[in-house]
Chains A and B, each alone.
Chain A
Amino acid sequence: MSEIADSAAQAASPAIASPRTAGVRLKVEQASFAYAATDRSAPKFTLGPTSFEAQQQELVAILGPNASGKSTLLGLLAGLARPLSGRIEVDGTEVSLLDLRTRAQRIALVQQESELLFPLRVWEYVLQGRYPYGRRLRFESAEDCLLAGNALAQVGADALRDRWMDQLSGGEKQRVILARALAQQPSLLLLDEPTQHLDIGGKVELLRRLRRLADESRYTVLVVTHELNLAAEFCDRIVLLHKGKCLRVGTPAEVYEREMLEEVFEAPLEVEMRAGGRPRVILRGNY
């Protein structure tokens, strides 16, 4: 499947980004985490010291097999948990020190959406992204509506505005959820396995969209994904995790080494370097 993804993405593959001079948006310094062992049935899981930086306009992929600590890392970045040691800074402020609303103004997290209990229109859903900016009962202002409309336009979901959330297709829903995150006007956009329920065309479209958001709208985008080839095509930087350790951080070309990927993903792999410095991973024969 990855091979198909690759060829489909090839057409739009941007040239590899030169090191940017813009300011550091996200700075992770030796951050580590351990789950409190309150639930005895679950193993105590840790994320070893992890360090990396992400600049403005950068698209970063967090890769790793299941249970490698990707979601833990994302949770730390989103400020849902405080790192056991080390620091995580967004725009120069430590994330765990931000109050809830300020945090929501700077960091938006896109997860798989939960089941809606009552029907909701797309525009109502996107307006929720304005919550961190509201006062008391938070009646939405004209400005909020404008920004929500812009967010919908940015993800090409203008036409969905008056549809019901539960009548959208997987790809449409994904875009609307992304629009709500954009309505938060964050500087850091985090996505937790957004490609999971999309077909191959949807995956390419999403990554292309994220690339554009980073390039044109100056977001710093971090995406947790299993799509090695799409990450290699579109991302500036890769953070590779394995068994709760941060194995390597760098450009796709630096991170995609055959022996290491084989060990991490426990599969016979081949890495070939393509024009533009973008590596491609293929499954070797005889598996």
Chain B
Amino acid sequence: MRPLTPRRIAWVCAGLFGVLFVACVISLRLGAYPISVRDIVTTLFQGAIGRWDDIPGGLKSIVWEIRLPRIMLGILVGASLSTAGAGFQALLRNPLADPYVLGVSSGAALGAIVSLIVAPHAAGAIQVAAFIGAAGTIAAVYFLGRRGGQLDSATLLLAGIVAASFLSAIIMFLMTTLSGRDLRGMAFWLMGDLASQPSVNSAWLYLLLLIGAGSIYTTSSDLNLILTGEQEARHLGVNVNRVKLVVYVAASMLTGLAVSVSGAIGYVGLLVPHLMRMMFGTDYRLLIPTSALGGAILIVVADTVARTAVAPTELPVGAMTALVGAPVFIYLMRRRVR
């Protein structure tokens, strides 16, 4: 018997931090203009201590203004989506739950697009609208996914798929009315793309990520029990309704947050928590932080591949994650049916 300790969590997270750091350095290195690791390190260091004048102009703009913000955005999006995925899996008691598969990302995207049409210049409006879209969609999918008062795994997934295609149809309809706007850019954003920086200060977005992931984390020992059975969790003293409400709001917020800045990047919320379970076990006290870090790593790597694989053309990062994620989804689904 070797129960989970805070020490183990710290060690595992430190390890993943290391991996994330390496991924970031590699991502900073690669691109149309390759930079040596030494240059990256000195540029980062001098920027960090405020000696901007010592950095060669080209390096400064490539590292600090182009590649690093994009990496930071990737970390934000990856961590949000993975944590949301892990949360949805516990909330719906469905290992195949993922913001994208459940249509929640489409709901958030619809919210974001509506806000772009209605109030294109209001700061933060897009995030709020994406959150409302996500929360509304998951509520609808939840109620459509029930059969005879019970949450049915297959029905739930079908409801998610139907919701996603229905919402996509509305998005298509809205997009055709958006004459004069950059349709290609919009289509890219819908596929999931990190190329454009958010209009709001990203410190706020990080704060929201911390709040969302932190709230889910506080319920992690309750989620462990809910995963073994909702009724049983109740008998063991878990306030199931409160936990579900917290996770529902937080996971919707995280999805809305990610989609509002990067569009619908699929399968991250499915892929990462499963990988982390295979590596570190199913305990949510370890799964939530490792998923957040793992998601960040995955998106940073996927985005680096997306922008360098067929350079100078860029692929949407969502296409990369779907390329890997869809086969894994099929694999997990078939293994369950077994």
**CB contact between A113 and one of B94, B232, B277 (< 8 Å): that residue:** B232
Choice from B6, B224, B225, B232 contacting A111 with Cβ under 8 Å = B232
Structural contact, A114 and B232, CB atoms closer than 8 A: yes
Say yes or no: A100 contacts B239, CB within 8 Å: yes
Complex partner residue of B231 from A108, A114, A128, CB under 8 angstroms: A114
Asked if B227 contacts A100 (CB within 8 A), the reply is: no
Chain A residues with Cβ below 8 Å from B89 are 117
Most-contacted residue by chain B among A118, A134, A140, A148 (CB, 10 A): A118
A39 to B218 Cα, complex, angstroms:
35
Task: Select which of A78, A104, A118, A131 is within 8 A of B95 by beta carbon.
Answer: A118
Chain B neighbourhood of A233, CB < 8 A: none
Q: What A residues does B6 contact at CB under 8 A? A: 137, 139
The verdict on A209 contacting chain B, using a C-beta distance below 8 Å, is: no
- Do A131 and B227 contact each other (CB < 8 Å), given the known contacts A139-B4, A148-B1? no
Encode contact with A along B1-43: 1 for CB under 8 Å, 0 otherwise: 1011110000000000000000000000000000000000000
B285 near A: Cβ within 8 Å? yes
Number of interface residues of A (CB under 8 A): 40
Which of the listed residues B89, B149, B237, B238 has the most CB atoms from chain A within 10 Å of its own CB? B237
> Could you tell me the distance between the alpha carbons of A239 and B238 in the complex, rounded to whole angstroms?
30
Nearest CB on B from A250, distance (A):
29
A114 touching B229, Cβ below 8 Å: yes
Interface assignment of B228: CB less than 8 Å from any CB of chain A: yes
Q: Which stretch in A29-37, A58-66, A119-127 binds the other chain? A: A119-127
Flag if B231 contacts A131 (CB, 8 Å).
no
**Of all chain B residues, which has the CB nearest A129?**
B236
Instruction: Name the residue on B nearest A165 (C-beta).
Output: B228
**Interface residue? B220 (CB, 8 A):** yes
- Complexed CA–CA distance, A124 and B282 (Å): 10
Decide: A127 and B236 in contact? CB cutoff 8 A: no
Identify which of residues 51-95 in chain B touch chain A, using a CB-to-CB cut-off of 8 Å. 89, 93-95
B325, chain A: closest CB distance, angstroms: 19
B227 touches A117 (CB 8 A): yes
Query: Given A100-B237, A117-B94, list of 6 further CB < 8 A pairs?
Result: A103-B237, A105-B237, A111-B232, A117-B93, A148-B1, A184-B236
Interface on B for A, CB 8 Å cutoff?
Answer: 1, 3-6, 89, 93-95, 149, 218, 220-221, 224-225, 227-232, 234-239, 277, 282-283, 285
